[in-house]
């Protein structure tokens, strides 16, 4: 191995791990790495973003799409703190990701030098931390070792983010350290005894239900999960924002288990006598505030299968805990022999019927978001990638998009279980750049969009084409306004928004754009967007009163006032 700058060796190490794209915002603290990207520009590209939060979201989306760590580079201090939102999202979403942070030179450490932070403390690992591992590389000769370990940690067990701080002077040192081989995560099979117990519990059940979620899934694992559900005639729901793990058109699919869950599905899960959670963390959103499955001891018998030993038993005292990688767990479940007679077949068919009934919706005028989303899914290719951030507008996506299983086209849903606003636009840009053959549709709220909307220019700068952004403008932080009306009816504070002309803004960034305020106008506008050879933004104007897929602000306010009068009749 010849001598070269440590910054160059780092880029070589990324290439050895199969990385062909990295996202970031350039900084003087890692100029040697940027020079390494220039040196290897035929083998790896550096996507320069406009803000570190957007860059980190792009890397997180890269991790979701590929199953391997998404890569982000930022500079010290403000760069790292801006990027922390993406690290937090990767942690809560169990997404493999590595954030590289330029650090002050070694001889300036611990003096509160310009933009200095201790990243091991800031990102410190722990059950409620932001990263699985945070370290600082002091020795150029050990840099490839740290990179390989970062890939191991990010993918092993429950996947998640890793942060490596890179002192500026370390990156300019010469090193002959060899690049290490591509890292693959170790796969863990469930214990045979545990599988026997699971089968026994299934044979004793009358109303079982499966919840699939989390990361670590691939096409083979999702197909094996489908076969397990078919063999045992099991109803399957997908955990919050993991709806693409099971084909939503499959007769065993019962719906999404998350925010604004179908009330009939929620009741069905409560009435189940056995819940098998595979890969899902069973967090607050999936469990309805830990009430759908009561913590710490659910009313239902609970089997929890998860790749991370630290997750098993952390919240729920389950009846059976199985540690296993998703690929191994699904294949093991697929092989479980089912009896000829299963007493819950009608139960599964009824769950499917409830899901299909939930796809129906009353007509809303003048702009019907249910029809908008249904039109998108009818016209867009089956392998379209859908992205969103946080906000009530996402409820229409959860309810009306029928995601194909991951085994058909890979990930088709990129959305933050962390509830991070601003995620959808950067995730869409990343998907359009990483998988240019696929159509990408982002749906964003007005408040959500303006947090990272500047990344529209990143899409243009790097040649994105099949990319459509639908901005739902209701002039408010809609989720907060909904909660205000529920808790303090009629007392609105801080949730109104003054918005720009989003279509004009998009055109300034080099996008095609159109304004839509009637349902009838959406289909031709979206069809033109799909046919365009450049990214397109559609600015949808929605009445502020249209709050969720099931209610309006007026109805929520009226119910809250009525409840207040009932509590205080005087």
pLDDT per residue over 540-561, tens digit each?
999 999 999 999 999 999 898 8
The strand pair at 467-473 and 440-445 is best described as parallel
Helix (H), strand (E) counts: the chain: 22, 20
Would you place residue 117 in the very low, low, confident or very high pLDDT band (cuts 50, 70, 90)? confident
How far apart CA 471 and CA 536 sit, in angstroms, is 11
For residue 154, the Cα-to-chain-centroid distance in whole angstroms is 16
Give the residue-averaged pLDDT of 487-502.
93
State the sign of the Cα–Cα–Cα–Cα dihedral 267, 94, 407, 531.
positive
Least confident of 111-125, 247-261, 420-434: 111-125
- Among 408, 130, 398, 113, smallest CA distance to 265 is for 398
DSSP state of 178: P
- Measured at the CA of 295, the angle between CA 290 and CA 298, to 5 degrees, comes to 105
* Closest-CA residue to 394 (of 372, 361, 362): 372
Residue 116: what pLDDT?
76
pLDDT higher for 125 or 455?
A: 455
Question: How do the residues of the chain divide into helix, strand and coil, expressed in percent and rounded to 5?
Answer: 40, 15, 40
Dihedral, CA of residue 79, residue 84, residue 87 and residue 91, to nearest 10:
170
* Residue with more model confidence, 421 or 118: 421
Q: What pLDDT, on the 0 to 100 scale, is given for residue 126?
A: 62
Task: Note the maximum CA span of the chain.
Answer: 85
pLDDT computed for residue 570 by the predictor: 64
* Omega prior to 366 cis, within 30 of 0: yes
Position 111 scores a pLDDT of 82
pLDDT at 244: 98
Mean pLDDT of 320-346: 97
Q: How far is CA 390 from CA 94, 214, 417, 432, 477, in A?
A: 18, 18, 9, 20, 10
Tell me the mean pLDDT in the region 517-524: 98
Region 72-89: mean pLDDT is 97
Least confident of 31-45, 78-92, 127-141, 226-240: 127-141
Whether the per-residue pLDDT at 265 is higher than 70: the answer is: yes
Contact (CB, 8 A) for 472 and 61: no
pLDDT band at 567; cut points 50, 70, 90: confident
Residue corresponding to tokens 């019907």: 368
pLDDT for the residue 408: 93
pLDDT tens track for 460-483: 999 999 999 999 999 999 999 999
Query: How far, in Å, CA of 124 to CA of 431, rounded?
Result: 29
Per-residue pLDDT band for 107 (boundaries 50, 70, 90) equals confident
Question: With 80 as the cut, is the pLDDT of residue 125 above it?
Answer: no
Distances (CA, A) of 397 to 381, 403, 412: 16, 10, 12
Q: Is the pLDDT of residue 335 over 80?
A: yes
Angle between helices 78-92 and 52-66 (to 10 degrees): 30
Domains of the chain: 4-175 (3.40.50.970), 192-358 (3.40.50.1220), 369-561 (3.40.50.970)
H or E segment at 211? strand 208-212
Average of per-residue pLDDT values in the chain? 95
The pLDDT score that the predictor gives to residue 568 is: 79
The single residue listed with the structure tokens 């359009």 is 432
- Name which residue leads in pLDDT, 121 or 55: 55
Does pLDDT of 222 surpass 80? yes
How far is residue 288 from each of residues 60, 285, 404, measured CA to CA in Å? 25, 5, 25
pLDDT at 119: 87
- The string of pLDDT tens digits covering residues 227-247 is 999 999 999 999 999 999 999
Q: Cα separation of 203 and 219, whole Å?
A: 28
Contacts 24+ apart (CB under 8 A), 545-552: 546/364, 546/367, 546/369, 546/474, 547/392, 547/478, 547/481, 547/482, 547/485, 548/260, 548/392, 548/395, 548/482, 549/260, 549/361, 549/369, 549/370, 549/395, 549/396, 549/399, 549/400, 550/260
Percent of the chain with pLDDT over 70: 99
Q: Between 318 and 569, whose confidence is greater?
A: 318
Sign of CA dihedral 460, 462, 463, 467: negative
Q: What is the arithmetic mean of pLDDT over 307-317? A: 95
Whole-model pTM? 0.96
Residue 505 CB burial class (10 angstroms; 0-12, 13-18, ≥19): buried
């Amino acid at each position: 191995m010849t001598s070269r700058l440590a910054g160059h060796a780092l880029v070589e190490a990324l290439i050895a791990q199969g990385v062909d794209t990295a996202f970031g915002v350039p900084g003087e603290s890692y100029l040697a790495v940027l020079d390494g990207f220039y040196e290897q520009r035929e083998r790896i590209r550096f996507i320069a973003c406009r803000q570190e939060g957007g860059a980190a979201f792009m890397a997180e989306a890269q991790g979701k799409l590929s199953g391997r760590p998404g890569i982000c580079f930022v500079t010290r201090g403000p760069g790292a703190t801006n990027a922390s939102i993406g690290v937090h999202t990767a942690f809560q979403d169990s997404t493999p990701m590595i954030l590289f942070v330029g650090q002050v030179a070694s001889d300036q450490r611990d003096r509160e030098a310009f933009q200095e932070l201790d990243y091991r403390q800031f990102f410190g690992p722990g059950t409620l931390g932001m990263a699985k591992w945070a370290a600082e590389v002091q020795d150029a000769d050990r840099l490839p070792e740290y990179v390989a370990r970062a890939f191991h940690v990010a993918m092993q067990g429950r996947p998640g983010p890793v942060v490596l701080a890179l002192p500026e002077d370390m990156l300019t040192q010469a090193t002959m350290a060899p690049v290490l081989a591509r890292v693959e995560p170790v796969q863990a099979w469930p214990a045979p005894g545990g599988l026997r117990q699971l089968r026994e519990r299934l044979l004793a059940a009358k109303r079982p239900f499966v919840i699939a979620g989390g990361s670590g899934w691939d096409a083979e694992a999702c197909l094996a999960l489908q076969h397990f559900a078919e063999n045992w005639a099991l109803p399957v729901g997908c955990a919050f924002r993991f709806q693409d793990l099971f084909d939503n058109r499959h007769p065993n699919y019962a719906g999404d288990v998350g925010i604004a869950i179908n009330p009939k599905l929620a009741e069905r899960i409560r009435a189940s006598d056995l819940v098998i959670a595979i890969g899902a963390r069973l967090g607050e959103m999936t469990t309805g505030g830990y009430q759908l499955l009561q913590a710490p001891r659910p009313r239902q018998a609970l089997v929890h299968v998860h790749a991370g030993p630290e997750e098993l038993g952390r919240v729920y005292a389950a009846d059976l805990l199985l540690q296993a990688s998703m690929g191994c767990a699904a294949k093991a479940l697929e092989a479980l022999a089912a009896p000829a007679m299963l007493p819950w077949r009608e139960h599964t068919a009824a769950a499917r019927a409830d899901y299909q009934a939930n796809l129906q919706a009353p007509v809303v005028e003048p702009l019907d978001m249910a029809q908008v989303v249904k039109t998108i899914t009818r016209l867009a290719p089956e392998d379209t990638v859908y992205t969103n951030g946080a906000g009530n507008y996402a409820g229409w996506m959860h309810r009306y998009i029928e995601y194909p299983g991951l085994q058909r086209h890979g990930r088709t849903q990129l959305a933050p279980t962390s509830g991070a606003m601003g995620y959808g636009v950067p995730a869409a840009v990343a998907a359009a750049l990483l998988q240019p053959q696929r159509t990408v549709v982002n749906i964003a709220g007005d408040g959500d969009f303006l947090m990272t909307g500047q990344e529209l220019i990143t899409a243009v700068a790097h040649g994105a084409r099949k990319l459509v952004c639908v901005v739902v403008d209701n002039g408010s932080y809609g989720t907060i306004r909904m909660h205000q009306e529920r808790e303090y009816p009629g007392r609105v504070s801080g949730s109104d928004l003054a918005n720009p002309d989003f279509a004009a803004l998009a055109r300034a960034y080099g996008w095609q754009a159109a304004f839509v305020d009637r349902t009838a106008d959406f289909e031709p506008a979206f069809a033109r967007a799909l046919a365009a050879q450049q990214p397109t933004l559609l600015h949808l104007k929605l009445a502020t009163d249209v709050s969720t897929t099931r209610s309006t602000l007026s109805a929520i306010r009226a119910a809250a006032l009525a409840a207040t009068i009932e509590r205080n009749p005087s």
